[in-house]
């Protein structure tokens, strides 16, 4: 039986500097059997740690269809552990427990055929695994629209993936909140200036869609208002929430919010489930 308390060593096989304090890591478990049997669901997280430092939750941002080959994380330097993690190089080890939590629902089980993904800042990280997987499954019947709000060009995440996503049919729009873009496109994606909510007025929204959201708490309030204006039902909206976590498996209470635990009942919730919980965002 799998022991969720036991961290497994993983080797870094690629590192990319995404933004001034953000690095993307591709890793593979040292034990080949563990990698071959590793499966996660988009939107799930893992506890990543370093002996002598700490461990903390990080979203798995790779394509779940490649989970038996490698996994990817995108880490922002904010404190003790993350300052050390972003210094790691190709060939270094880190330790992983998981995957944990409830992720985004299966794209094939959603009552609506199409998907609108809205991400703000680092909230774009857990949405990347959805985009990577959905982009491989798009057809003339099933469309994916992505709105990504970011501060400026320097902070842009995953720009080396935009052309590939768009080639596969993803409709991607980027919007900068702090910098007027010099061109109308950024890495092939239409780009404008303002908050991510402005895209709801600038761009035609795909019909018959569910919405997946992740971003800073203030973003949820305003994006939800726009979705309501566009007649999205509560049941068709899913959000990924973040809280400080310790155990990641519903034991320590660090992430408790009323009757729910963000770590095991979430981090992804249907809006109808949580909309009446006070201070949930
Ligand atoms: C489900 C989940 C998924 C996450 N995914 C990612 C990810 O993909 N990439 C990423 O870079 N980070 C992610 N985080 C946040 C990450 O876990 C924290 O940044 C990390 O714990 C910081 O550890 P530290 O030792 O470097 O900072 P600390 O020294 O512990 O703290 C530094 C500062 O960051 C604040 N902080 C710590 N944790 C959080 C948090 N969860 N939310 C808000 N503020 C916090 C502290 O209050 C403090 O001000 C995720 C968190 C959760 C709960
Ligand atoms: S992190 Fe321990 S209960 Fe959720």
For the stretch 11-32, pLDDT in tens is 999 999 999 999 999 999 999 9
pLDDT at position 252 is: 86
Average pLDDT of every residue of the chain: 93
Residue scoring higher pLDDT (181 or 149): 149
pLDDT at position 140 is: 73
Point out the ligand 2 atom lying closest to the alpha carbon of residue 261.
Answer: 4
Point out the ligand 1 atom lying closest to the alpha carbon of residue 73.
Answer: 8
Which bin fits 214, alpha (ψ -120 to 50), beta or left (φ > 0)? Answer: beta
pLDDT at position 78 is: 94
Q: Is 78 in the pocket of ligand 1 (CB under 6 A)?
A: yes
Does pTM surpass 0.75?
A: yes
Distance 56 CA to ligand 2 centre (A): 11
Give 266's pLDDT tier (boundaries 50, 70, 90): confident
Pocket probe mutation, ligand 2, options 241, 252, 259, max atoms within 8 Å of Cβ: 252
Point out the ligand 2 atom lying closest to the alpha carbon of residue 252.
Answer: 2
Q: Specify the residue with its C-alpha closest to ligand 1, atom 35.
A: 78
Q: Specify the residue with its C-alpha closest to ligand 1, atom 29.
A: 79
Domains and CATH numbers, the chain: 8-99 (2.40.30.10), 114-240 (3.40.50.80)
Distance 280 CA to ligand 1 centre (A): 18
Which spans in the chain are helix H?
A: 32-36, 80-85, 125-136, 162-167, 199-202, 217-229, 262-265, 271-274
Q: Output the CA–CA distances (angstroms, integers) from residue 87 to 96, 126, 193, in the order listed.
A: 17, 22, 33
Q: How far is residue 271's CA from residue 154's CA, in Å, rounded to a whole number?
A: 32
| Number of the ligand closest to the Cα of 250 | 2
Point out the ligand 2 atom lying closest to the alpha carbon of residue 247.
Answer: 2
**31 is written with which tokens?**
């034990």
Distance 244 CA to ligand 1 centre (A): 7
pLDDT at position 168 is: 93
């Amino acid at each position: 039986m799998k022991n969720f308390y036991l961290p497994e060593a993983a080797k870094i096989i690629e590192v990319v500097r995404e933004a001034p304090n953000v690095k993307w890591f591709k890793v593979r478990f040292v034990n080949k059997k563990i990698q071959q049997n590793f499966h996660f669901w988009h939107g799930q997280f893992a506890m990543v740690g370093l002996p002598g430092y700490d461990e903390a939750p990080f979203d798995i941002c790779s394509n779940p269809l490649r989970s038996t080959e490698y996994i990817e994380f995108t880490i922002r330097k904010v404190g003790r552990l993350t300052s050390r993690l972003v210094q790691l190089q190709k060939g270094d080890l880190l330790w992983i427990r998981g995957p944990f939590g409830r992720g985004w629902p299966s794209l094939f089980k959603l009552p609506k055929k199409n998907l609108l993904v809205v991400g703000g800042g680092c909230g774009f990280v857990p949405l990347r695994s959805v985009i990577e997987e959905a982009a491989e499954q798009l057809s003339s019947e099933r469309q994916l629209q992505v709105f990504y709000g970011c501060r400026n060009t320097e902070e842009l995440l995953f720009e080396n993936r935009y052309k590939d996503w768009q080639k596969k049919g993803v409709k991607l729009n980027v919007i900068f909140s702090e910098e007027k873009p010099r061109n109308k496109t950024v890495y092939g994606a239409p780009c404008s200036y303002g908050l991510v909510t402005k895209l709801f007025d600038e761009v035609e929204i795909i019909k018959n869609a569910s919405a997946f959201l992740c971003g800073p708490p203030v973003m949820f309030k305003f994006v939800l208002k726009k979705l309501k204006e566009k007649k999205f039902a509560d049941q068709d909206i899913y959000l990924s929430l973040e809280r400080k976590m310790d155990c990641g498996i519903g034991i320590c209470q660090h992430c408790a919010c009323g009757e729910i635990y963000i770590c095991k009942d979430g981090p992804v919730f249907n809006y109808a489930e949580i909309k009446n919980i006070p201070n949930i965002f």
